[in-house]
Every structure is written in structure tokens, then in C-alpha cells.
Amino acid sequence: MFDTVSEADFKSAMKNLAAGVTLITSVSRTQRGGMTATAVCSLSAAPAQLVVCVNRQNATHQMIMESRKFCVNVLAADQSEVAHRFSNPHARTERFEHGQWSVLKTGAPVLMDALVAFDCELGEAIDSGTHSIFVGRVIGVHAQEQCSPLLYYRSGYAGITAHA
């Protein structure tokens, strides 16, 4: 078994993987929480499942483990401000003050003007070093779709363009 590459080399290389920007939200008792994330991907369509990778130090990780519910809100191109708010540790109290928030089935916060939202029950939770892989069983979706996506690439937000 070889050693893995250094943290610096991995981070530098991973910047080249463009991804849609999401907010992963959860609720525990009456407290809402969430984080900005790009480590989200489809797992299977039948059953409808997705995967998110979350740092175990993140407050949202604990909230998901306790409540076993979360929502993946895929952001639209004009929502970089909310993405920034959910990644700024100093803006915790303001996170849910802007935007139209609701719930679907689980009770996890759903941003109604997100591009699409996946309301999930937690399936498997696989610990792997600093992070956990959470499998989300998708039990509700809310799609808005009248806009283009917000992307993250090389440490900055970006938009999409039709392919030349």
C-alpha cells in the first residue's frame, strides 16, 4: 500500500473538480443548522439515494447524526450570498434570516428558491478519517428550475455556459 499524496497536493488538485454549490441543512430539536458544501453526488435512482461527505468537526455533522435527517439545497447562480453566509463561521445567527425557508417531509430546512432541494432521511453513515460519508434516502424533492446553477471551481464561484 502506497502513502496518499500530501494534503496540499490533494487540495490543489481537487480545486479543478468543478461542482454545483449546495447548502446541507438539518434540524435537531428546534435548532436549525447548515453548511455550504460541494461534496455531494448521486448514488442510485432506485432507491433514490445521494451521498454527501461532511467533516466530523462541523456542527451540522452532529445535527445530522442526532436527527437522522438533512436537506441538500442546490443553489442557483444568483445565490452566492447565501453560500457565503453558510460558510462564514461568524454569520451563524443570520443564516436563516434571508430567503424563503420552509420544510418538506423531514422537517429539515428547505430553501424554497433553491434550484432544487432533496429532503433526505439518513441511511448509512460511514466514518472515514476526518469525514463521514452520509447516504441520504431522498423522500422529497422541491424543484424550481427556472434558473441556472451556482458553481464552485478553483476557489471561487462561477456560472455555467452552453457548450461551444
Interface of this chain with a copy of itself, residues 77 to 96, rule: CB under 8 A: 77, 80
Distance, CA of 97 to CA of 73 (rounded, Å): 16
- Cβ distance to a copy of itself smaller for residue 20 or 33: 20
Q: Is 58 in the site for a copy of itself (CB under 8 A)?
A: no
- Cβ distance to a copy of itself smaller for residue 1 or 97: 1
Neighbours of 65 (CB within 10 A): 16
Distance, CA of 39 to CA of 19 (rounded, Å): 8
Q: Is 65 in the site for a copy of itself (CB under 8 A)?
A: no
- The correct pick among 99, 101, 107, 140 for binding a copy of itself (CB under 8 A) is 140
Q: Is 13 in the site for a copy of itself (CB under 8 A)?
A: yes
Asked if 32 and 25 count as a contact pair (C-beta separation under 8 A), the reply is yes
Binding to a copy of itself (CB under 8 A): which residues in 28-47?
38-47
Q: Is 137 in the site for a copy of itself (CB under 8 A)?
A: yes
- Cβ distance to a copy of itself smaller for residue 92 or 159: 159
> Which H or E run contains 104?
none
Q: Which amino acid is at 114?
A: A
Binding mask 116-135 for a copy of itself (x = CB under 8 A): x-x--x-xx-x-xxxx-x-x
What are the angstrom distances between the C-alpha of 161 and each of 15, 55, 73, 74, 113? 19, 31, 21, 18, 21
Burial class of residue 85 in the structure, from the number of CB atoms within 10 Å of its CB (0-12 exposed, 13-18 middle, 19+ buried)? buried
- Cβ distance to a copy of itself smaller for residue 91 or 143: 143
Number of shown-chain residues binding a copy of itself (CB under 8 A): 71
Q: Is 157 in the site for a copy of itself (CB under 8 A)?
A: yes
49 grid coordinates = 439515494
Q: Is 2 in the site for a copy of itself (CB under 8 A)?
A: yes
